[in-house]
Amino acid sequence: MPLVLTKEWFETIRDAWNSDPSNVKSLEGTSEKVLWIVEELPLSRLSPELERAILQGGTIDEATFRKAKEKDRVELLLEWREGRLVDFRPAREGEDYTARMRGKYSVFERIKTEEDLVWATMDREIEFRGRLFEFSRRLDGYTRFTLLLVSKTELV
Amino acid sequence: MEERSARERAAWEEWIRQMGMDKIWERLTAINPFPGKIPLSVEIFTSMPVWRHIFRHLGMNPERWQRLKYENFVEWAYRIEQAVETCSRLLKHPPPPHELYHMDNLCYLSHPPAYLCKADVGKTTCQMLYGKYATVEYVHVDDFTREVYWILGYHNEDGIPVHNWLLGASEEISQYFDEEDEKRFFGRMEIWTGAPNRRELDDRLNRRHLRTGVKVRDVPKYYWDPYDWGAGVRDVILDLRTELFSKWLHATLYIAGVSAYISTIAQNALMSSEFFLYVYYGLNTSALGLRYNLFSYVPLPPILRTLLSLPQETFVKRMSELFLGGYNTIHKYACPEKKIPNLFKIRKFQWEHGQFYPHVKGILPPFVLARAIPPSLEPINLRHYLETPPSKEFLEVLESEGDLNKETGMLPSIQETGRFHFLFDPSVEPLRPSDFPPLDPNKGQIWPFDLTREKLEIMVEEGYDGSGRNVEYYSKLADKRMGKKVD
């Protein structure tokens, strides 16, 4: 059963973030909304039977799933307040954010250290749009979130 | 001056911290030979993508760093020697018109010896830049220790270098001298003056300024900007010239200051148009949003001041016209691979990946490079870079990726957008190394400034080999076949 974009997926990641004090500490003092765009999730490889089963399960918003599959990307909205992840859900059309991260899932999968994130960002494999100062201060937090996102994502 | 320098240095350090550049540099350990230390001009690594990859490819460590410093030094020195020989040959045997731009007839009679030019043009522009008689000494500074590690230059009479003068070199680089180097740098030859031995070369860097008491080697520790380095060492070099070369006292003494990273980037630019872009950024650093200079001339030749007030695109075009008759060279090395293996690795990497890898895969044509829009650390107007308005496709990129304000022409800074990449006109396809004839790094190649993939393919198909022989003919032939109007 794929565990991505389901209600459980969003909740698991949010809870996992907040339950680890070192995660919260890594973004201590941070209050921001980040639009996190993940491209090329291999949703298109799901068999029609599996897709039907997922949608009938009712744990996933059908419109979000179909849009993600059609555009081959998901737009996630994360809101951190004082380092705690208070909101994590699909982004709404035209929603405001303070910073944006965008990259292919395979690139996020490769990120293991802050150094990897810096190289991927400077090489434009991950595109960061936001204030440079904030990016550099939040490298630890963004890396931790990337690792969490990938570790909690099961696609097949 | 020391007080001002201390203030400026503190302001720079604060600025680096404010931007978070120190934190980014900490994570670029793969290119830092001295982890924990922040080099001079650390900001350049945010905007020079290929150089991050080149330094990672070379594998930076303390030993590689010293070796790279030596290779830059020795290539620099032999370029001047090669330029003198080329000039002397061409004075005796002027080339026929179809060989005017042959790569064997182009030399580094440039200032600094980092871009190729025609010997006659080099002679004239040298006089235009410095006057009839000039001694020019280049002061190179280690980005990490902030110490001067070599001072090398030449004396020009009537625009031609007539004598090379190695004033000082630290033992960090002289340890790599081979027999050929020792012949030139220890002792005296007809066109070379060095010092009797390694120790003396190193010791000269300990010469102190009579008033300030600061050693030449330590000047960059006290003075912040490359302009101030020049001012800090000039008096001592003047004294040494009086001692050693009193016959040159009639000439103006120019000092140029540059750090190891900057000189590595500038001296190893793949193409002449790319080098001119770097000159623009080095002396007109507001184009990158830097608050100090990356390179200095003390005093600054007035003509450079005039040229630098032009937009970037105009500057690159004018320099290409002035020095290379509107052509663009792929630079050649004066030393063989055995002597400069790391520089050869750099050239191979650039040639295979292009000048702005990984943001652009392929070699950018000169006229596209001239219109490059760099990421700037301060907000800046598009007019600073472009001579003519961008194409529709380019404008779209500038708006979507550069956040260009179409009404005012203002581009926001990296600090606001986090944009680390240059923006280029997407309507022109990058060139591929396989499109060109095979490149010999010791020979280089020359091509028209308006080179496109189509033009390159036609020229090669018609038999042009990149050497410069009949380049004008092949260029016009290609233009004709492409339906362009030809004179």
Give B163-196 pLDDT, tens digit per residue: 889 999 999 999 999 999 999 999 778 888 999 9
Look at the block and give the residue holding tokens 């280690």: B142
The dihedral sign for the CA sequence B29, B33, B35, B37: negative
- Give residue B365's pLDDT: 97
| A76: alpha, beta or left? (left if phi > 0; alpha if psi -120 to 50) | beta
Q: Which CATH architecture has domain A7-151?
A: 2-Layer Sandwich (3.30)
Contacts of A102 in chain B (CB under 8 A): none
Cis peptide before B39 (omega within 30 of 0): no
Give B161's strand partners: B156
Question: In angstroms, rounded to a whole number, what is the distance separating the alpha carbons of residues B38 and B35?
Answer: 8
Contacts B30 to A, Cβ<8 Å: 115
Q: Are B42 and B21 in contact (CB under 8 A)?
A: yes
Task: Tell me the H-state helices in A112-151.
Answer: 114-122, 132-137, 139-151
Nearest to B18 among A117, A119, A133 (CB): A133
- What's the pLDDT tens digit per position in B437-472? 999 999 999 999 999 999 999 999 999 999 999 999
Strands, E assignment, B180-269: 192-193, 252-259
Please state the three-class secondary structure of B289-340 as a single string.
Answer: CCCCCCEEEECCCHHHHHHHCCCHHHHHHHHHHHHHCCEEEECCCCCCCCCC
Euclidean distance between CA atoms B122 and B255, whole angstroms? 19
Residue A2 has pLDDT above 60, yes or no: no
Is B368 within 8 Å of B424 (Cβ atoms)?
Answer: yes
Measured at the CA of B44, the angle between CA B41 and CA B49, to 5 degrees, comes to 150
pTM for the whole structure: 0.94
**Mean model confidence pLDDT for chain B:** 93
Q: Locate the domains of chain A by residue range.
A: 7-151
Strand partners, B404: none
Binary contact (A137, B23; C-beta < 8 A): yes
Q: State the average pLDDT over residues B366-380.
A: 95
Shortest Cα distance from B52 to chain A (angstroms)?
Answer: 9
On the question of pLDDT at B131 being above 90, the answer is no
A137 contacts chain B (CB < 8 A): yes
Cα atoms found within 13 Å of the Cα of residue B51, Cβ hemisphere only: 20
Q: Confidence band (pLDDT; 50, 70, 90) for A1? A: very low
Task: Compute, in degrees rounded to 10, the torsion defined by CA atoms B262, B265, B268, B274.
Answer: -120
* Range of lowest pLDDT (A48-57, B272-281, B332-341): A48-57
Residue B466, SS3 per DSSP: coil
pLDDT tens digits, B407-444: 999 999 998 888 989 999 999 999 999 999 999 999 99
Provide the angle, in degrees to the nearest 10, between the axes of the packed helices A114-122 and A139-151.
100
Q: What percent of chain B has pLDDT over 90?
A: 74
Q: Which residues of chain A does B23 touch, with a Cβ-Cβ cutoff of 8 Å?
A: 136-137, 139
Contact B464, B440 (CB under 8 A): no
Residues sharing a CB contact under 8 Å with residue B141, sequence separation 6 or more, in sequence order: B40, B147, B148, B149, B220, B226, B229, B257, B258, B259, B260
Residue ranges of the domains in chain B? 62-311
pLDDT tens for residues B30-82?
A: 899 999 999 999 988 878 899 999 999 999 999 999 999 999 999 999 998 89
CA distance A115 to B300: 40
B399 at interface of A, judged by CB pairs closer than 8 A: no
Query: Higher-confidence residue: B458 or B323?
Result: B458
Residues 6+ apart with CB under 8 A from B348: B441
Average pLDDT over residues B122-140: 88
Which region holds residue B39: left if phi is over 0, alpha if psi is between -120 and 50, else beta? beta
A112 touches chain B (CB under 8 A): no
Q: How far apart are CA B264 and CA B343, in angstroms?
A: 9
- Residue B336 sits at φ, ψ, to 5 deg, of -75, 165
ipTM of the complex: 0.90
Separation of first and last alpha carbons in chain A = 6
**Residue of A117, A124, A135 lying closest to B421 (CB–CB):** A124
The share of chain B scoring above pLDDT 70, in percent, equals 100
Summarised one tens digit per residue, pLDDT across range A103-143 is: 999 999 999 999 999 999 999 999 999 999 999 999 999 99
Q: B187 and chain A: CB distance < 8 Å anywhere?
A: no
CA distance B167 to B194: 6
- Which helix H or strand E contains B102, and what residues bound it? none
Does A128 lie at the interface with B, CB-CB under 8 angstroms? Answer: yes
How crowded is the C-beta side of A116, counted as CA atoms within 13 Å? 12
Nearest to A132 among B19, B27, B49 (CB): B19
Q: Residues of B with CB below 8 A from A134's CB?
A: 20
- What per-residue string of b and e applies to A5-33 under the rule 16 or more CB within 10 Å gives b? bbeebbebbbeebeeeeebbebbeebebb
A40 touches chain B (CB under 8 A): no
